[in-house]
Amino acid sequence: MTAAIAITALNVNRGGLPIVQDVSAAVMPASWFGVIGANGSGKTTLRRAIAGRLPIAQGRCVVFGEERAQDRGARAQVIGFAPPIEHFPASLRLRQLLELAGDPLEAQHERNGDLWDALGLKELLDIPAGECSSGMRQRAAIALAFAKPCPIVILDEPFNWLDPVAAFDVRAVLARLVAEGLALITALHDLTTLCGFCDSGIVMAKGRVSLTLDTDRLRAGRNDPVRFESDLVAALR
């Protein structure tokens, strides 16, 4: 089976400094890939580079069998990405943010109805971004990643700011979308989601992969969370 994304020896620089070095991983279709790491470990840079939001300095990035490392636009076209909430213009309503980012609103609602329900988005559409709380903006950011139909979606710590009910519902919808074929990459800080929902993942430290998490290891983590956490913390240090 062709991987949705396969990166090999990937290097990404920011401001001339190497932030991500020699990272390799593969994400299959219909799978949830978790990226976990300490603050400043290069998670955000890696995700942005894969999503075409940053250039790749070196290495390979194969998307559905085609080499795209040097074609940032092509990666951005096929990968849904949640823009950081601080980039939302205060003057625009959430409805306008969604319309500008993808399909007409009706089409988005028709396609992502369950996700919108889980996010409680319909009630937020007419609120200007400048008047939204961080949680409201985070809901919009998740919906923005699905504003266009994309086979791969990358979300940055999607459950931050969400209340427990919304987080629970959104997790369930995302799991269903993955089961239907979506390749989902998320940065995570909570081990519950990592063990309970992800099929594979990596742990990053100082810009490199310090631990690879395959399905068996994640399954073992579900059964013995204390041991899993201590292994993970050791890899993060």
Partner 1 sequence: MSDGLTLLVLVPLLALFARAWLAALPDDLRELVVFGATSLFATLLAKALIERLWFHRTDGVLARDAQRADDGIAFFGPLALAGAAVGLSVLAVLGLVDPTGMVLGVCSGLPAGALFPFLREHVRRWWRRFAPTGLRSLAQIRLSLPKAAALSVMVGMVSLALPSAHCLDAVFIGVYALGVILLTAQVDARVVRYMTLVGHEGASLLRHWLPLQLCLLGPLAIVLLLAQEPVSTTVAAIIAAALPVVTALRIFAYRAVSRLVGDWAVALVILAAVYAGLTAPPLGPVVIVAAIIWFARRGVGFRWLLA
The residues binding partner 1 (CB under 8 A) are: 14, 48, 52-54, 72-73, 76-77, 83-84, 87-92, 97, 100-102, 144, 147
Least CB distance to partner 1 at residue 76 (A)? 4
User: Which residue's CB is nearer to partner 1, number 144 or number 195?
Assistant: 144
User: Which residue's CB is nearer to partner 1, number 156 or number 169?
Assistant: 156
Least CB distance to partner 1 at residue 72 (A)? 7
E strand residue ranges, 86-163: 152-156
Residues listed for the chain: 237
Least CB distance to partner 1 at residue 169 (A)? 25
Least CB distance to partner 1 at residue 86 (A)? 10
**Rounded CA gap, 51 and 53, in Å?**
6
Q: Rounded to a whole number, what is the largest CA-CA distance in the chain?
A: 48
Pick the closest to residue 5 from 88, 57, 65 (CA basis). Answer: 65
User: Which residue's CB is nearer to partner 1, number 52 or number 158?
Assistant: 52
* Tokens describing residue 75: 């990666």
User: Which residue's CB is nearer to partner 1, number 95 or number 208?
Assistant: 95
Q: Which residues of 131-145 are buried (b: 16+ CB within 10 A; e: fewer)?
A: ebeebbbbbbbbbbb
